[in-house]
Amino acid sequence: MSQLQAQGPSPLGLYIHFPWCVSKCPYCDFNSHALREDFPGRDTAPEATYLEALQRDLLQQLESQAKSLAGRKIATIFLGGGTPSLFSPTAIGNLLDLVRSSIGLVSDAEITLEANPGTIERGRFGEYAAVGVNRVSLGAQSFNAAALRALGRIHSPAETLAAVNELHAAGLDNFNIDLMYGLPAQDAAGALHDVETAIALGPAQISHYQLTLEPGTSFAGRPPADLPSDEQTEQMLALCSACLIAAGYAQYEVSAWARKGRACVHNLNYWRFGDYLGIGAGAHGKLTGSAIWRSTQPREPRRYQRDPIGGLTWQQIAPEQLPFEFMLNALRLLEGFERGLFESRTGLPWSSVDAAVASLVGRGLLALTAGAELATTRIQPTALGVRFLNEVLLEFLPERVESMHNG
């Protein structure tokens, strides 16, 4: 029996990707496609054909991975995109029923729906809640109309406020608001106003991201004018962080702030290197058996729908890649991880990373807190380590780890 098998399974999540949006935002590098480009003249997603593909995808993965999934139920579902709220509550409910009847859901499963304010019709959050959605992630991005236009967003600040009112009316108090800072022509006061407005709406979580010009996006090819300087974005982050702390939100991940006990469970499973299935166009999964495997589906929606089974690929993560893969996730959490978690989730001995960790501790980028036993020793990024996280992660690339052990 391998060490991975001996440690027992991690929680199991399910990510379901919905690839369409009403329009493509110029900063977005996610696998999203404008409806009018894929289907000229129509504003509705092809629900029936896409749900059929999702069903075939899920059932085939459950069958092919039956040994690794034996006895396991889904603990979290994340309906992401794209814009999943372009699909009707009935369609979402049918999909959740399929999950319940096939692999099963734990009794307190977290089920998150991503939604954009402009795509929610009045009253529909109640319908989503009725079919099982119990958490919503709302893509507000800003409460400034000019900033939203600069970002290519199609909703207004008023529509975000209306959407939040509907969330509260539906009893969906576990919701996240996505915000961006470092926007074109934005100053520190503007960034702070966005955070203060979001806090007043009572979300369980606020995700606070800096606008970045991702390769392959429209903004990367044609950067917007009047982007704030690095010094200005640092000031924005400092002011907004202080505001969030004062309002009772704690930063638990690089870009995520939550009230006590309200962090996104699905994302925590990602960061702790847990297992999850991924279905839908461009979806990724990770599953642990006698080895650790990642799955990938084709990104193009039409190709995916033609053959959701034949396009799926599974690739084993090579043991020498596992330290980097684990740290890429776990070090996004400000609480870090316990040494025993690394060993149980990777199947590797601590000796495979001890030299790299010791070096980073010595440079003030990681901190160690001794536990009652070695397995409970906690490793977490320092404030400096969070700031230079990419440099920290480089130390766990296979060639770096090998050179440390041979040095």
Is the sign of the CA dihedral 323, 325, 326, 329 positive or negative?
Answer: positive
Higher pLDDT, 185 or 118: 185
Question: What was the pLDDT predicted at 26?
Answer: 87
CA-nearest of 316, 319, 327 to 380 is 327
Classify strands 292-296 and 313-316 as parallel, antiparallel or unpaired: antiparallel
CA distance 201 to 249: 13
Architecture of domain 3-269: Alpha-Beta Barrel (3.20)
- pLDDT of residue 8 exceeding 60: no
Question: What was the pLDDT predicted at 3?
Answer: 47
Tokens 């139920």 correspond to 73
Beta bridge partners of 319: none
Give the pLDDT band of residue 379 (cuts 50, 70, 90).
very high
Domain boundaries, the chain: 3-269, 321-407
Q: What are the tens digits of pLDDT across the range 186-234? A: 999 999 999 999 999 999 999 999 999 999 999 989 999 899 999 999 9
Written as one letter, the residue type at 358 is: A
Q: Is 4 left (phi over 0), alpha (psi -120 to 50) or beta?
A: alpha
- pLDDT of residue 119 exceeding 80: no
CA distance 210 to 17: 24
Architecture of domain 321-407: Orthogonal Bundle (1.10)
Exposed e or buried b per residue across 225-251, where buried means at least 16 C-beta atoms within 10 angstroms of its C-beta: eebbeeebbebbbebbeebbeeeebeb
Question: What was the pLDDT predicted at 5?
Answer: 44
Question: What was the pLDDT predicted at 29?
Answer: 87
Of the listed ranges 12-26, 96-110, 325-339, the one predicted with least confidence: 12-26
CA distance 229 to 194: 19
Q: What are the tens digits of pLDDT across the range 56-100? A: 999 999 999 999 999 999 999 999 999 999 999 999 999 999 999
CA distance 34 to 23: 5
Helix (H/G/I), strand (E/B), else coil: 213: coil
- pLDDT of residue 299 exceeding 90: yes
CA distance 272 to 288: 13
Give the pLDDT band of residue 383 (cuts 50, 70, 90).
very high
Q: What percent of the chain has pLDDT over 90?
A: 84
- pLDDT of residue 132 exceeding 80: yes
Contact call for residues 179 and 209 (beta carbons, < 8 A) = yes
The stretch 138-157 carries a mean pLDDT of 95
Contact call for residues 27 and 211 (beta carbons, < 8 A) = yes
Cα–Cα distances in Å, from 337 out to 10, 16, 407? Answer: 15, 27, 27
